């Protein structure tokens, strides 16, 4: 049905409902169902302008109730994300109780041990803002799993210039994000895995797989190396099955 506006009826949108004799019948229905009927004279037709503006309408009560705070899926997703971010912060603070003096940070982004670590004694987790992963098959290196949802971790602003006047206040040293990757299997001394740090909460953790001496660069396997190792493991498993 065609919609029209008229300069004498500000903010009103009329529906044309046909001719009543020589007059055009136009009806405006407000939010509460009250009708305003205008019979336009032929000489006044030129003042009526067609419009594509949507006619205001009330949200149905049932839809209003279902979209409320308690029932909103969007709000619940936001709550899950915010809770996961807070828990990640808490766990990070637990993991970094020891002084960062056990590590050496080398610009631009390299991390070295500055103490002796037995196998599995150095554990690093990420810290940053979370983004929900829509396709969990495309895993991010840094991930958080909480209440059935997977999140990637966007690092906080990392230290880039030690001479920057705001380095101490606006840039952060989070060891996890300084561990480089390598395609040399002999150089790998850190491994990524999901750790359940409390019920319902899993966080990606980097753990040392070798005894570490001071001044050793911390390196994890590159994606290419991980794929290569997975293919080799699958081939070996296939050979064992055939031999059996």
Q: Are residues 122 and 232 in the same domain?
A: yes
pLDDT at position 168 is: 75
Considering only 3-7, 133-137, 170-174, 197-201, which range has the smallest mean pLDDT? Answer: 133-137
Q: Are residues 151 and 224 in the same domain?
A: yes
pLDDT higher than 70, residue 218:
yes
Torsion of Cα atoms, 207 then 110 then 88 then 141, to 10°: -70
Q: Are residues 103 and 222 in the same domain?
A: yes
Task: Indicate whether 63 belongs to any domain.
Answer: no
* Residue range 36-61, pLDDT digits in tens: 999 999 999 999 999 999 999 999 98
pLDDT at position 98 is: 64
Query: pTM (2 decimals)?
Result: 0.73
Torsion of Cα atoms, 235 then 239 then 189 then 184, to 10°: -50
| Residues forming beta bridges with residue 20, ordered by sequence position | 23
Q: Are residues 47 and 93 in the same domain?
A: no
Q: Are residues 51 and 98 in the same domain?
A: no
Last residue of a domain, one of 58, 74, 101: 58
CATH number of the domain to which 116 belongs: 2.170.270.10
DSSP string, the chain: --EEEETTEEEEEEEEEEEETTEEEEEEE-TTS-EEEEEE-GGGGGG-EE--PPPP-PPPHHHHHHTSTTT-HHHHHHHHHHHHHHHHHHHHHHHT-S-GGGEEEETTTEEEE-S-B-TT--EE---EEEEE-S-TTS--SSEEEETTEEEEEEEPPBP--TT-TTHHHH-B--GGGG-EEES-TTT--EEEEEEEEETTEEEEEEEE-S-B-TTPBPEEE-HHHHHHHHHHHHHHHHHHHHH-
pLDDT at position 209 is: 97
Find the mean pLDDT for residues 157-173: 81
Q: Are residues 226 and 165 in the same domain?
A: yes
pLDDT higher than 70, residue 30:
yes
Task: Indicate whether 77 belongs to any domain.
Answer: no
Q: Are residues 54 and 94 in the same domain?
A: no
CA distance 85 to 127: 9
pLDDT higher than 70, residue 216:
yes
Q: Are residues 119 and 44 in the same domain?
A: no
pLDDT at position 136 is: 65
Q: Are residues 39 and 87 in the same domain?
A: no
pLDDT category at 27 given cuts 50, 70, 90 is: very high
Rg of the chain, C-alpha, whole Å: 32
Find the mean pLDDT for residues 144-171: 86
Q: Are residues 22 and 119 in the same domain?
A: no
pLDDT category at 135 given cuts 50, 70, 90 is: confident
Q: Are residues 15 and 113 in the same domain?
A: no
Task: Indicate whether 64 belongs to any domain.
Answer: no
More confident residue, 135 or 100: 100
Task: Indicate whether 244 belongs to any domain.
Answer: no
Percent of the chain with pLDDT over 90: 67
Task: Indicate whether 69 belongs to any domain.
Answer: no
Domain containing 132 equals 82-237
Q: How confident is the prediction for the chain on average, in pLDDT?
A: 90
Structural domains of the chain, count: 2
pLDDT higher than 80, residue 207:
yes
More confident residue, 87 or 171: 87
pLDDT higher than 90, residue 139:
no
């Amino acid at each position: 049905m065609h919609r029209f506006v008229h300069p004498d009826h500000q903010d009103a949108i009329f529906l044309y409902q046909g001719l009543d004799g020589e007059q055009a019948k136009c009806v405006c229905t407000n939010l509460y169902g009250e009708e305003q009927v205008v019979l336009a004279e032929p000489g006044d037709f030129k003042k009526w302008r067609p419009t594509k503006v949507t006619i205001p309408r009330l949200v149905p009560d049932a839809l209003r109730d279902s979209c409320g705070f308690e029932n909103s899926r969007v709000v619940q997703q936001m709550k899950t994300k915010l809770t996961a971010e807070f828990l990640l912060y808490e766990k990070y603070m637990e993991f970094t109780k020891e002084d960062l003096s056990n590590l050496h940070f080398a610009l631009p982004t390299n991390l070295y041990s500055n103490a002796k670590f037995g196998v599995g004694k150095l554990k690093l987790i990420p810290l940053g803002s979370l983004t929900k992963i829509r396709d969990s098959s495309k895993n991010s290196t840094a991930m958080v799993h909480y209440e059935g949802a997977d999140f990637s971790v966007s690092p906080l602003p990392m230290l880039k210039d030690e001479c920057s006047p705001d380095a101490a206040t606006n840039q952060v040293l989070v060891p996890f994000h300084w561990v480089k990757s390598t395609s040399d299997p002999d150089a790998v001394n850190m491994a990524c895995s999901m750790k359940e740090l409390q019920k319902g909460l899993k966080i990606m953790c980097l753990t040392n797989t070798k005894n570490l001496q001071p001044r050793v660069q911390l390196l994890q396997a590159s994606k290419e190396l991980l794929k290569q190792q997975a293919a080799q493991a699958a081939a070996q498993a296939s050979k064992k099955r055939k031999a059996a």
